[in-house]
Amino acid sequence: MNDMRQMTALGRKIEEDSFSIIDQEAAGHPWPPAEWQIVRRVVHATGDFDFIHTMVLSPQAVTAGIAALRAGAPILADVQMVAAGLNAQRLAAFGCQTHCMISDEDVIALAKERGTTRAVEAVAKAARLGLLNGAIVAVGNAPTALLEAARQIQEEGARPALVVGVPVGFVSAAESKENLLALEVPSIVARGRKGGSAIAVAVIHALLALAVEENKSGGKPEGKVW
């Protein structure tokens, strides 16, 4: 598989220079090489070095994420902004498809009927369709989606391969992340109120880069720049 890069030479140089600047300014950070590729892409996507200190990766998060991508796992996005930001070609090369159900008519109807949110009902629908088990759940915008994913794990026995919990906001955002961290599930979290769809996308793209590298090397990724 090739890495399917679509950048021009100048665009690639700008990206590489950006990563170099981040490496220089973040010298002495505590992250191991592979995990640093994820954190560094979050910093790159946001321009915010605070994420070096607020990102939390569970011990098996990187391994689980790479394995899920290589197995063609579905990607469940909480909102269209996450789905739109993901590189469909790179995902398709591994056999992965992105699903986002927040605008489905039945999801909207159930949210109104039950007095919940579309984000909650979208995750519940994914669970009913069997899409949560083995999936990468990417929550960048809606804390209620993350709360429902956690409920599905705790109460319904759902077993996603990885949960990326980085919703932004002032109501339940920080709390939903702490709730996820308390569960025994591979997770990548941006603690506190900060987050966003761009961060969820950055995390998935970093995992894709590591999965491509692992394919090329035939072994454990060393955390090189894609």
Q: What positions carry a catalytic annotation?
A: 44
What letter represents residue 72's amino acid?
G
Q: Which residues pair with 146 in a beta bridge?
A: none
Q: Is 177 within 8 Å of 152 (Cβ atoms)?
A: no
Look-up: residue for tokens 């598989």?
Answer: 1
Strands (E), 127-185: 136-139, 162-165
Q: CA–CA separation, 50 vs 64, rounded Å?
A: 25
Q: Is 194 within 8 Å of 50 (Cβ atoms)?
A: yes
Q: CA–CA separation, 74 vs 160, rounded Å?
A: 10
Q: What phi and psi values does residue 122 have, to the nearest 5 degrees?
A: -65, -45
Q: Is 75 within 8 Å of 91 (Cβ atoms)?
A: yes
CA 2 to chain centre: 22
